[in-house]
A and B are shown apart, each in its own frame.
Chain A
């Protein structure tokens, strides 16, 4: 009796995620029976569902104490709410972009929208996972959906290659993750995050068993694959390049946020007591990502490969907050993630609006030559996003960097801060290069890329540009929310 009631209570509390799961399946069935325009009609349904989920998630915000659900498999706290909010924003933006980008193409099928929804559900589980098993279930639900999305353009060789590469390396990383989980389980006897934390805390005085550390390392490596931190980043440029452009936009936003959220929870909740052990790993990952992201991006000619290295570099900056640790560090990471999400969404929305006469999106840097003469508004919008990514004040990207660097310096990692700053100067070069191509170069005679007006993308681009430009006026609100989220983690 009581058990049944608990189930209902749990389901009621998790109603946002449950709604997403049920509607994804319903929309899948509906989509099959729709004769024409299935993609855009399903997309309208999906955006509605995601938006309702978004509102429901925001309303859960008032819960101060974390709530454990389904025998503590899932935990609802402000950290999860913050991350889910970001993920849902990313998912909504991605659905809009996918509709605009793929409508009319052979691969413009409604299934991609369903897959985005299922991936979002998986991420939602990931960020609120409170147990290694729910972590893994969420992660795999997300990953499998993403593998299929990457190879959506089945007529294209590079898309199939991207999907396959993503799948093989993703499967490898999942294997490493599972191996790590089994080691952790073997030495703590549990998969539950709070119990792992308790056991580590109890054994504080004794030496920490080496296999537990090895397990932690494997778990981190598995997750480092997902956020494409160097040296586990090899798949990123190929997948970014090969996947349909709008799907790449999704990859750059939501899955990264979910994986960072997961790493954050793992590091500070079950393994919080092992900070001195894992901080070295994160330190190296962060520094290597910043450096490789900056230098490897310099020579790219393909826009999506460039953005892949840009996101690798950004992951390095995001990890800086975890290196710093503590309330400051986690808050800084969350603020950075939020600003990164908005900037990425806006950047991709504007890039996707640049197309040739056959409605194919621009992929090479040179396709943007002289864009500012043809379409000044979008060019200035793009320039704002790129300057923000380069961390130039007064744009929001500067504050994101300011926050992580403040946290890092506060915790005494001056060398890491200096390296990070230098990397950001190097990375500024390739952001400037795109601005240069748009503003200083003459349009080439052969290619005729231009902004094809689309009301849809405007819904993503305009709010993003507004946020990035005006963030300076009222910076406190976001930081307050991030601080609350970080507080609920510790």
Chain B
């Protein structure tokens, strides 16, 4: 069987689900043996998926903007739904990101999750299926099923293994996201009625005419803005992050937040170009507010996870800004920023998890001077901290600078304001690092903590290597996303230069 006929995406999507079934079948009470078995099976399966994702990445054709590894079979005739899967430059790296972070989370739960490990692994594996499915689905309803299905395992993850306010956080996460998503579902059904199908490639670059585009755009915006999250609907994120277990935070920051940006690129811009053009200024301002406002809020946080959560909102501000500049730099920067943020914020949450497992507190004040007893940890933490700040040479720099270049091309004022976020970002991250790692020893327990162990090194060192490698070799990513972005923007500009009556003449 050659790679052309091998259903690579289907196998990648559903292998974790099969693994989840196996893990569920592990018998016995919740003792160490069962725990190790569950983690090992889960890690093995998810490493296989990661291997397959690398096969996909290295067989990815960088010359074309078409969807690759496409599978298309009829699935639900009554609604004209197809099981249509495929990746292009925009989605391919998100699939790899999901496949990379899941095994890390599963391995790390060996020390951070003490009860019901088997169920934890099952939840993570199901989550992996849904995440990969979201980025591969090329049918609107299929996309929605994966996109929305994520709520179930995530709700359980936050609620069962989370912190003291986990119930509140789980409900807030679930209901916020659901409220946004059902509006998108209505819009999707409306589009099904208009197009007779929800096949994404069919709907792309074939916009509906008239005012309805604006309503549809807003409905999709409601969903993606919550998922992203954009200011002012970001309030669920700090709660969810703070309460979620380490693995949940890593997946949430690393992959789930990218679904919003991916949705903008896959649905909003190609399907509602006129509405995109109309709403872009509003989104610029929302993004700038997000960057500045949430950076200021991050400055006063006393909880490490909360600070990183607010910094995520700020970083996602660059993403929305970049996407809606509709410039090559901006969109490429946004995608790059999402990939980079996926690595860096995931690693930062792992870093917090490392010291949380030892001290069981996330209060910044309780730490200090741990560089003396944890030098390796301090080094790794520094790499990610600087990546988050956007130091040249790390992946964070490339994404932010490209997005800002796009912003300056689109609107100088917006660009200037957004650039000020870089300074603020540096302020709070450096402050966090100084308080936790340097400074006087505040706490005897903190001074007695052991340095990172083998498992933690195994998780953090590859991520650090990737952050630096993408910082000095951004072309590996940019080459692959380039053709798809070009294609997206060309079609976008073709669409918005068509006058409305022209569209009406075409029968839409």
A429 and B175 contact, CB distance less than 8 A: yes
Q: In the complex the two chains form, what is the Cα distance from A476 to B75 in whole Å?
A: 8
Q: List chain B residues, Cβ under 8 A from A429.
A: 171, 175
Indicate with 1 or 0, residue by residue over A476-487, a CB within 8 angstroms of chain B CB atoms.
100110010000
State whether the Cβ of B119 lies closer than 8 Å to any Cβ in chain A: yes
> What distance in Å separates the Cβ of A486 from its nearest Cβ neighbour in chain B?
12
Indicate with 1 or 0, residue by residue over A420-452, a CB within 8 angstroms of chain B CB atoms.
011011001100100110011000000000000
State whether the Cβ of A157 lies closer than 8 Å to any Cβ in chain B: no
In residues 360-394 of chain A, which contact B (Cβ within 8 Å)?
A: 372, 376, 383, 387, 392-394
Known: A439-B160, A475-B76, A476-B77. A424 touches B170 (CB 8 A): no
Q: List chain B residues, Cβ under 8 A from A398.
A: 145, 148
Q: List chain B residues, Cβ under 8 A from A435.
A: 155
Main secondary structure of the interface of A (DSSP, over half): helix
Indicate with 1 or 0, residue by residue over B181-206, a CB within 8 angstroms of chain A CB atoms.
01101100110110000000000000
Categorize the interface residue count of chain A: 20 to 34
A402 and B148 contact, CB distance less than 8 A: no
State whether the Cβ of A52 lies closer than 8 Å to any Cβ in chain B: no
Indicate with 1 or 0, residue by residue over B141-161, a CB within 8 angstroms of chain A CB atoms.
100111011011001100110
> What distance in Å separates the Cβ of A157 from its nearest Cβ neighbour in chain B?
35
> What distance in Å separates the Cβ of B59 from its nearest Cβ neighbour in chain A?
29
Q: Which of A203-211, A253-261, A405-413 contacts B (4 or more CB under 8 A)?
A: A405-413
Q: List chain B residues, Cβ under 8 A from A392.
A: 148-149, 151-152, 178
Indicate with 1 or 0, residue by residue over B164-182, a CB within 8 angstroms of chain A CB atoms.
0011001100110011001
A414 and B178 contact, CB distance less than 8 A: no
B79 is contacted by which of A383, A402, A409, A414 (Cβ under 8 Å)?
A402
B149 is contacted by which of A393, A405, A425, A476 (Cβ under 8 Å)?
A393
A440 and B190 contact, CB distance less than 8 A: no
In residues 140-180 of chain A, which contact B (Cβ within 8 Å)?
A: none
B149 and A402 contact, CB distance less than 8 A: no
B77 and A422 contact, CB distance less than 8 A: no
B189 is contacted by which of A402, A425, A472 (Cβ under 8 Å)?
A402
Q: In the complex the two chains form, what is the Cα distance from A418 to B189 in whole Å?
A: 12
In residues 312-339 of chain A, which contact B (Cβ within 8 Å)?
A: none
Indicate with 1 or 0, residue by residue over B356-374, a CB within 8 angstroms of chain A CB atoms.
0000000000000000000
Q: List chain A residues, Cβ under 8 A from B185.
A: 402, 405, 421
Closest A residue to B156 by CB, please name it.
A439
Closest B residue to A428 by CB, please name it.
B178
B151 and A409 contact, CB distance less than 8 A: no
Q: List chain B residues, Cβ under 8 A from A432.
A: 155, 171, 174-175
Indicate with 1 or 0, residue by residue over A458-488, a CB within 8 angstroms of chain B CB atoms.
0000000000000010011001100100000
State whether the Cβ of B78 lies closer than 8 Å to any Cβ in chain A: yes
State whether the Cβ of A417 lies closer than 8 Å to any Cβ in chain B: yes
Indicate with 1 or 0, residue by residue over B64-93, a CB within 8 angstroms of chain A CB atoms.
000000000001111100000000000000
A394 and B149 contact, CB distance less than 8 A: yes
> What distance in Å separates the Cβ of B215 from its nearest Cβ neighbour in chain A?
9
Q: In the complex the two chains form, what is the Cα distance from A410 to B190 in whole Å?
A: 7
Q: In the complex the two chains form, what is the Cα distance from A442 to B141 in whole Å?
A: 37
B179 is contacted by which of A403, A405, A425, A440 (Cβ under 8 Å)?
A425
Q: List chain A residues, Cβ under 8 A from B178.
A: 392, 425, 428
B145 and A376 contact, CB distance less than 8 A: no
B78 is contacted by which of A383, A472, A475 (Cβ under 8 Å)?
A475
B190 and A414 contact, CB distance less than 8 A: yes
Known: A387-B152, A476-B78, A479-B78. A376 touches B189 (CB 8 A): no
Among A383, A394, A429, A475, find the residue whose CB has the most chain B CB atoms closer than 10 A. Answer: A394
Closest B residue to A418 by CB, please name it.
B186
Indicate with 1 or 0, residue by residue over A293-322, a CB within 8 angstroms of chain B CB atoms.
000000000000000000000000000000
Closest B residue to A335 by CB, please name it.
B78
B182 and A476 contact, CB distance less than 8 A: no
Q: List chain A residues, Cβ under 8 A from B159.
A: 436, 439-440
Q: In the complex the two chains form, what is the Cα distance from A376 to B29 in whole Å?
A: 12
Closest A residue to B176 by CB, please name it.
A425
Can you spell out 17 A-B residue pairs with CB atoms less than 8 angstroms apart? Answer: A392-B148, A392-B178, A393-B144, A393-B145, A403-B79, A406-B79, A409-B190, A417-B189, A418-B183, A422-B179, A425-B182, A432-B171, A432-B175, A439-B160, A440-B159, A440-B167, A475-B75
Contacts A393-B145, A393-B148, A425-B182 aside, 8 further interface pairs with beta carbons under 8 A come to: A387-B152, A398-B148, A402-B185, A405-B186, A409-B186, A417-B189, A421-B182, A476-B77
B interface with A by C-beta (< 8 Å): 75-79, 119, 141, 144-146, 148-149, 151-152, 155-156, 159-160, 166-167, 170-171, 174-175, 178-179, 182-183, 185-186, 189-190, 192-193
